[in-house]
């Protein structure tokens, strides 16, 4: 049986916008997964701020939320998304906690599942702390909330004032039946397509 999922994607290494766009395609290509909506891309400083002012500075993150339907159970979906992360250069064994990421994919929600295991906690335990997750989540799940009944609007209101989160761009070409969004502040247009494979030439 299919169940609705929401994934949070972020990147701040290399061409983060190109990475996020390609990652949406990669997620949609997973067996048992269909992407049906993608939020705008939001820029935000790294979170949390490094406690040591001498820490190496990071570039700002670009973030978006992807929703869709999946027949995979949560742990299977987690395993598949971690393979996508690895394909884009993430090495969980060597990375620094809260450090830069070529690609980070968080399982935010999978159906009404609630679980707390060593590998996975659902809903994501820090949704309520992250405006950069709640803002795009509200965009693709207006009126939505957590399985315990808390609404995204209430969680976001509790974080007010919300600062340093900017709508950078809306992706024009992604594998989604994306709903039209209300007018608002937008960045420059961006359109992406799958790369054309090279011509192998005559056999």
Out of 15, 37, 60, 106, the active site residue is 106
Which one of the listed residues 92, 101, 181, 183 is annotated catalytic?
Answer: 101
Q: For residue 170, which of 131, 136, 129 has the smallest C-alpha distance?
A: 136
Q: Which of 40, 92, 79 is nearest to 62 (CA)?
A: 40
Of the candidates 90, 130, 170, 178, the residue annotated as catalytic is 90
DSSP-based three-state secondary structure for 161 = coil
162 to 14, 132, 135, 136: CA distances (angstroms): 27, 9, 10, 13
Question: Is 90 in the active site?
Answer: yes
Q: How many CA atoms lie less than 13 Å away from 144 in the CB half-sphere? A: 20
Q: Is 37 a catalytic residue?
A: no
Residue 106 annotated among the catalytic residues of the structure: yes
What's the residue count for the chain?
203
Catalytic residues: 90, 101, 104, 106
């Amino acid at each position: 049986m299919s169940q609705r999922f929401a994934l949070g994607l972020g990147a701040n290494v290399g061409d983060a916008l190109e990475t996020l766009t390609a990652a949406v395609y990669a997620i949609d290509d997973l067996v048992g997964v269909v992407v049906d909506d993608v939020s705008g891309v939001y820029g935000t400083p790294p979170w949390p701020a490094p406690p040591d002012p001498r820490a190496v500075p990071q570039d700002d993150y670009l973030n978006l939320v992807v929703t869709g339907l999946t027949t995979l159970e949560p742990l299977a979906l987690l395993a598949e998304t971690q393979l996508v992360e690895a394909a884009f250069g993430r090495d969980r064994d060597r990375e620094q906690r809260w450090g830069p990421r070529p690609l980070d994919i968080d399982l935010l929600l999978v159906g009404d599942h609630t679980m707390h295991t060593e590998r996975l906690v659902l809903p994501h335990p820090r949704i309520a702390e992250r405006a950069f997750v709640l803002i795009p989540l509200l965009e693709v799940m207006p009126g939505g909330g957590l399985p315990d009944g808390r609404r995204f609007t209430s969680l976001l209101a509790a974080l007010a004032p919300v600062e340093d989160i900017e709508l950078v761009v809306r992706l024009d070409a992604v594998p989604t039946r994306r709903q039209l969004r209300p007018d608002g502040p937008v960045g420059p247009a961006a359109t992406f397509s799958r790369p054309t494979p090279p011509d192998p030439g005559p056999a």
